[in-house]
Amino acid sequence: MPIKFPFSRRRDVSAETWVKCPSCESQIFNKQLERNLRVCPTCGHHFRMSVGERIDLLLDDDSFVERDAGLESGDPLGFHDQKPYPDRLEASRVKTGLREAAVWGTGTIDGQRIAIAIFDFRFMGGSMGSVVGEKLARCFEAALHERIPAVVISASGGARMQEGTLSLLQLAKTTAPLTRLDGAGVPFISVLTDPTTGGVLASFASLGDVILAEPRALIGFAGARVASGTVGEELPDGFQTAEFLLEHGLVDRVVPRAELRGVLSRLLRVLPVAHLAEGPAGESRGWGPIGVLSGIAERLGGAVSDTVGIGVESGTNGDLATTREESER
């Protein structure tokens, strides 16, 4: 089945078609919505964006170079609910023109080179299976190897149920490289869009050196009803919104879509990649949240990065591996 190359950038919409805003119920011309960066001109509701639209919004023209475009999910469990898993994948590929729910590559923002991964919620709810986890891991490993900042734009319902435990393994697979990024002083900026939930939030998305969010984005691990039932009490209204999480310290800043590129550009200037010569033994010392946790672990008797690692080789599935080099020494 042919895939649109490189992928759909703009939706094919008619000027005569309307869309109703889910927040204020205003009727908006699709063309007007596209010109306004898919933000409601009446109430400011941020509609979801495709991968191509994100690239056009954030990166310099023609600077994005996709990597690992050919990776596709298999069906390791032979999963079948209302329809076979391969049929769901095929339907999403036809609908979106993408091979998977995330795309990664390198590009520039105002001339500053980055490794970037972008989720597309249209592809099976942006769920993270083995291939998405592999792409993210390779994105982080490339950022470390090439010593360029990493940026991830998340829009996901969480781990992909059709891959069972294999999808849950991606939580460890995507967070393990971040310990090395942090230790090497390579910045990681996490951008949370609507929605960012489940295993994606519970892993790499909440571990950025800086965490940004779009206005009113739904951010949380489980649904509001499940969360309320788990803790056995009523939770405040809007407790899973970007604004609420900003007030309580999970999010560093809520950034309107029109300002996101400028904010990222400034962050890349004030969070430069550390020089290798910095720190003891010629290695830079991480200063982000993982560096703090690693420091605590070292004082308690062992560093996080000494026990968990990930090996990624071109053309392989990049299976999760544990390294015991330090203990063997």
| Parts of the chain with a pLDDT under 70 | 1-16, 277-329
Closest CA to 218 of 116, 126, 131: 126
Which amino acid type is present at position 155? A
Q: Residue with structure tokens 């942006």?
A: 126
Alpha helices in the chain (DSSP H): 30-35, 51-58, 85-96, 130-146, 164-183, 198-201, 224-231, 242-247, 257-270, 289-300, 325-328
Question: pTM here?
Answer: 0.81
Closest CA to 169 of 138, 229, 129: 129
Which amino acid type is present at position 115? A
Closest CA to 4 of 99, 74, 75: 99
pLDDT at 224: 84
Please say whether the beta carbons of 203 and 174 come within 8 A: yes
- Report how far residue 69's alpha carbon sits from residue 257's, in angstroms, rounded to the nearest whole number: 27
Phi, psi at 104, each rounded to 5°:
-135, 160
- Report how far residue 22's alpha carbon sits from residue 169's, in angstroms, rounded to the nearest whole number: 35
Q: Residue with structure tokens 């998305």?
A: 205
Q: Which domains does the chain have, with CATH numbers?
A: 47-328 (3.90.226.10)
H or E, element range at 20: strand 18-20
Please say whether the beta carbons of 148 and 114 come within 8 A: yes
Closest CA to 116 of 131, 97, 102: 102
Residue 123: C-alpha distances to residues 45, 127, 245, 308, 327 (Å): 22, 8, 26, 30, 42
Closest CA to 149 of 105, 110, 181, 111: 181
Burial pattern 102-123, b for ≥16 Cβ within 10 A else e, equals: bbbbbbbbeebbbbbbbbbbbb
pLDDT at 1: 42
- Report how far residue 281's alpha carbon sits from residue 167's, in angstroms, rounded to the nearest whole number: 37
Please say whether the beta carbons of 189 and 209 come within 8 A: yes
Residue 259: C-alpha distances to residues 1, 27, 276 (Å): 38, 25, 32
Closest CA to 118 of 29, 196, 22: 196
- Report how far residue 6's alpha carbon sits from residue 69's, in angstroms, rounded to the nearest whole number: 9
